[in-house]
Amino acid sequence: MLSPSPNSAKKAFSRVALVGKFQADGIEDHLRDLAKIVSSLGCEVFIEAATASHLGLLDYPTKTTDAFEGAIDLVVVLGGDGTMLGIGRQLAGSNVPLVGINMGRLGYMTDIPIQSVQMTLPKIIAGEYEADTRTLLDAVVLRAGKEINHALALNDVVVNRSGISGMVELAVHVNGSFMYNQRSDGLIVSTPTGSTAYALSAGGPILHPRVAGILLAPIAPHSLSNRPIVLPEDSVTVIEVVDGREVIVNFDMQSQTNLQSGDKIEVRQSNKTITFLHPRSHSDYKTLREKLHWNEYPSTF
């Protein structure tokens, strides 16, 4: 990548942190190129501490994610949606926006191709962007009434069985009202962001990111009458493990807690949000069309 001509006259963000997926091929060179581009725009550049440590990037100062709030104006994430999920949870509620750059495979959140970053990123830093605020889920795991885990999820909270055990039986209450007992492989509680992830594979609907709601999607239910349902954003869902062996609860499929019969998972919308920035030309429908390979027809408009 070539660096753009220096232009420090107009910028909406002065302090920019770079985060990278450690395992990706060529990530070091791409991060150095990104750093040169951002620096040439008159911005102060930092490398997220874990990224710098894993890759041995010592050319720029580093900061840990817990030090970003108040010290970083914009985070540029190079990798896939999984990388964005991890950093998004860490920065939730910090008011630090994120830009996602993919390295070859379009993501729902990492929507800027690495090949176009030298044209797109300077425009975003100059203030030419669309802001996209996403909600998270707040989940508490209770055992005998005592909290044993508390986690955030940007995509979903998933209660499911291990690959070798049988079905699980779950009792679900919403806002204190009993909804159903369900025998299945598990249950997904999803944000609109997560509706295009595991919930989609389980037959759930796609929710536009601006839809205010929480999606419940059963995984391979024993009864076909157990269908996905979208709940109001202020709903509190309690899932109790009635029966089942080797049951776990996952948070964005990046961390988990082993469950026992009688354990409860209380899930509600978090009061924390995260903001993604997209190019002015961004279209959620274009991303869906390309990711899901929907048929394209010539526009008559």
> Cα(48)–Cα(160) distance, rounded to whole angstroms?
33
Query: How many residues can be counted in the chain?
Result: 301
CA terminus-to-terminus distance, the chain: 36
* Tokens 């999606």 sit on residue: 215
- Secondary structure string (H, E, C) spanning 137-149: EEEEEEECCEEEE
DSSP 164: T
Q: Is 81 a catalytic residue?
A: yes
Least Cα distance to 192 among 269, 78, 251 occurs for: 269
- What lies within 8 Å, CB to CB, of 190 at 6+ separation is 155, 156, 157, 197, 198, 199, 204, 214, 215, 216, 217
> Cα(285)–Cα(19) distance, rounded to whole angstroms?
27
Q: How far is CA 203 from the centre of its chain?
A: 20
Instruction: Identify the active-site residue in 33, 59, 66, 81.
Output: 81
134: amino acid identity, one letter: R
> Cα(212)–Cα(214) distance, rounded to whole angstroms?
7
Catalytic amino acids? 81
